[in-house]
């Protein structure tokens, strides 16, 4: 670190789930951090100590940083760049409706970084991006805005975030080596030195930013393809009257088998997006990746398949104009992240099938604009969500749902009959339902006791 302390000051661009976690890790390591975001409400909240994040370590680190004068949030990305010698960019690359990547937000952040950059500064992109982005989008934009030559006067590296929302701090600090690649040896050395102060598992230095960009995307494609396989095999097991979870547990006792869990769909900003980046890059190279594309289609079909299960249960019960409760809006259990949640598609399918009396429950999500636009109520009160309901769909694997039994669900509904569609294989007593319950699942046979 330089004597003037400039390299001990870090600007983090983008204060979403990943950006706040990255800021927290640098704060925990003793750095001064300036967080940059375009949202004025988020900036006001953070500067007042309101950290909307499910991870305790992030809340504690940011609030401690505020108290010690080592953290502040701002909308002025140029000034933040002037103040800090290290700039970490976590601003996402979005997908256009055409399926092509939208680099505008990333380019805007890099431009602000460049306008405030000084000779010797280090810029690191952590956003998940199409391969080639660091060299072909970020590098020219940074040089244009700063007037500095990358690698000779300003350093540039790519280091993909590899975090699981809800445990991001431990992922960065303890669980994984930090993948790093520089545009040249100077940049690589500076980035490796920086992240060596954070990651206890060390730094995994790769040959080029493009290789590191592909590494990150391939992680997501691997999971997407394997989840699609799990969904297909779960549907077969269900049709044959077999419990997929039982088969999966036995199959995975073989060390070369790693069957994933099936479900209502795949959400979050990682797995649904990364295959699209890969397919986009493949198309530009004149290649087709049919397996990657098919996996996306399979996983996108699961909310519709789940809504079909609801129809099957309703027909078996003989209920007219059923009232349906969907448990879980977040894309994954234990977090409040609703980005690309399959619950949205599930709700859309149910509405189109004529299930107009819907309510969604989530213990973590306080408000949701999309549901409001659809006229669907969101509640954090499980009793309110289930009271008077005819059908319950478990859409998210929140820990609060994992302990529920069919009898408890029936009791909370207050009725004599209840249909349960288990989209996450959470119900343990499904083989012996209480009288009045019809149970169906993604990966289990239908069981009815009427």
Give domain limits for the chain.
6-207, 212-450
Terminal Cα distance for the chain, rounded: 71
| pLDDT band at 55; cut points 50, 70, 90 | confident
**Percent of all residues in the chain with a pLDDT value above 90, rounded to a whole number:** 89
For residues 105 and 93, the answer to whether their CB atoms sit within 8 Å is: yes
287-316: per-residue pLDDT in tens?
Answer: 999 999 999 999 999 999 999 999 999 999
The listed CATH number (3.40.50.2000, 3.40.50.720, 3.40.190.10, 3.40.50.1370) that belongs to domain 6-207: 3.40.50.720
| Residue 427 pLDDT greater than 60, yes or no | yes
- Tell me the average pLDDT across 198-219: 95
| Residue 163 pLDDT greater than 60, yes or no | yes
Residues 6+ apart with CB under 8 A from 425: 244, 245, 261, 262, 263, 441, 442, 443, 444
| pLDDT band at 53; cut points 50, 70, 90 | low
Residue 62: φ, ψ to 5° = -70, -40
| pLDDT band at 52; cut points 50, 70, 90 | confident
For residues 170 and 200, the answer to whether their CB atoms sit within 8 Å is: no
- Tell me the average pLDDT across 82-107: 93
Tell me which residues are annotated as active site.
216, 270
The mean of the pLDDT values for the chain is 94
At residue 3, the pLDDT reads 40
At residue 54, the pLDDT reads 62
At residue 1, the pLDDT reads 36
What's the CATH architecture for 212-450?
3-Layer(aba) Sandwich (3.40)
Topology alike, domains 6-207 and 212-450 = yes
Strand order from edge to edge, sheet including 437-441: 377-379, 358-361, 324-327, 391-394, 418-422, 437-441, 444-449
How far apart are the C-alpha atoms of 23 and 14, rounded to whole Å? 10
3-state secondary structure the chain: CCCCCHHHEEEEECCCHHHHHHHHHHHHCCCEEEEECCCHHHHHHHHCCCCCCCCHHHHHHHHHHHHCCCEEEECCHHHHHHHCCEEEECCCCEECCCCCEECHHHHHHHHHHHHHCCCCCEEEECCCCCCCHHHHHHHHHHHHHHCCCECCCEEEEECCCCCCCCCHHHHHHHHCCEEEEECCHHHHHHHHHHHHCCCCCCEEECCCHHHHHHHHHHHHHHHHHHHHHHHHHHHHHHHCCCCHHHHHHHHCCCCCCCCCCCCCCCCCCCCCCHHHHHHHHHHHCCCCCHHHHHHHHHHHCHHHHHHHHHHHHHHHHCCCCCCEEEECCCCCCCCCCCCCCHHHHHHHHHHHCCCCCEEEECCCCCCCHHHHHHCCEEECCHHHHHCCCCEEEECCCCHHHHCCCHHHHHHHHCCCCEEEEECCCCCCCCCCCCCCEEEEECCEEEEEEC
| Beta bridge pairs of residue 72 | 34
- Phi/psi-derived region of residue 443, left when phi > 0, alpha when psi is between -120 and 50, beta in every other case: left
At residue 2, the pLDDT reads 40
| pLDDT band at 162; cut points 50, 70, 90 | confident
| Residue 449 pLDDT greater than 70, yes or no | yes
């Amino acid at each position: 670190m330089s004597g003037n302390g400039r390299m001990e000051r870090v600007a983090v661009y983008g204060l979403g789930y990943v950006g706040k976690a990255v800021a927290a890790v640098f704060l925990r390591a003793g750095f001064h951090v300036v967080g940059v975001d375009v949202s004025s409400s988020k900036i006001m909240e953070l500067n007042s100590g309101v950290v909307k994040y499910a991870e305790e370590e992030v809340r504690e680190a940011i609030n401690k940083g505020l108290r010690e004068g080592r953290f502040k949030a701002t909308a002025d990305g140029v000034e933040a760049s002037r103040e800090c010698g290290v700039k970490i960019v976590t601003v996402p690359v979005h997908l256009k409706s055409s399926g092509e990547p939208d680099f505008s937000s990333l380019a805007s952040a890099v431009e602000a970084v460049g306008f405030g950059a000084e000779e010797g500064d280090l810029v690191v992109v952590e956003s998940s991006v199409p391969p080639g982005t660091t060299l072909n989008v970020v590098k020219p934009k940074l040089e244009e805005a700063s007037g500095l030559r990358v690698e000779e006067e300003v350093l540039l590296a790519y280091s993909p975030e590899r975090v699981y929302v809800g445990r991001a701090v431990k992922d960065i600090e303890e669980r994984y080596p930090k993948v790093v690649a520089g545009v040249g040896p100077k940049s690589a050395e500076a980035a490796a030195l920086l992240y060596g102060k954070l990651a206890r598992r060390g730094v995994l230095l790769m040959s080029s930013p493009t290789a590191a960009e592909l590494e990150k995307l391939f992680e997501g494609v691997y999971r997407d393809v394997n989840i699609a396989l799990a969904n297909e095999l779960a549907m077969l097991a269900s049709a044959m009257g077999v419990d997929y979870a039982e088969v999966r547990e036995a199959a995975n006792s073989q060390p070369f088998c790693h069957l994933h869990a099936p479900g209502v769909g795949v959400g979050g900003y990682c797995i649904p997006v990364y295959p699209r980046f890969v397919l986009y890059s493949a198309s530009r190279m004149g290649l087709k990746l049919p397996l990657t594309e098919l996996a996306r289609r399979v996983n996108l079909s699961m909310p519709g398949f789940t809504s079909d299960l609801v129809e099957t249960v309703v027909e078996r019960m003989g209920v007219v104009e059923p009232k349906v409760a969907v448990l879980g809006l977040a894309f994954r259990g234990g977090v409040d992240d609703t980005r690309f949640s399959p619950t949205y598609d599930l709700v859309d399918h149910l509405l189109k099938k004529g299930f107009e009396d819907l309510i969604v429950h989530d213990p973590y999500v306080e408000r949701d604009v999309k549901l409001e636009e659809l006229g669907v109520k969101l509640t954090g009160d499980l009793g309110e969500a289930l009271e008077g309901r005819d059908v319950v769909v478990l859409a998210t694997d929140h820990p609060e749902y994992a302990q529920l039994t069919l009898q408890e669900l029936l009791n909370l509904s207050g009725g004599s009959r209840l249909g349960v569609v288990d989209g996450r294989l959470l119900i343990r007593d499904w083989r012996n339902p209480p009288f009045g319950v019809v149970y169906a699942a993604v990966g289990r046979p239908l069981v009815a006791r009427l």
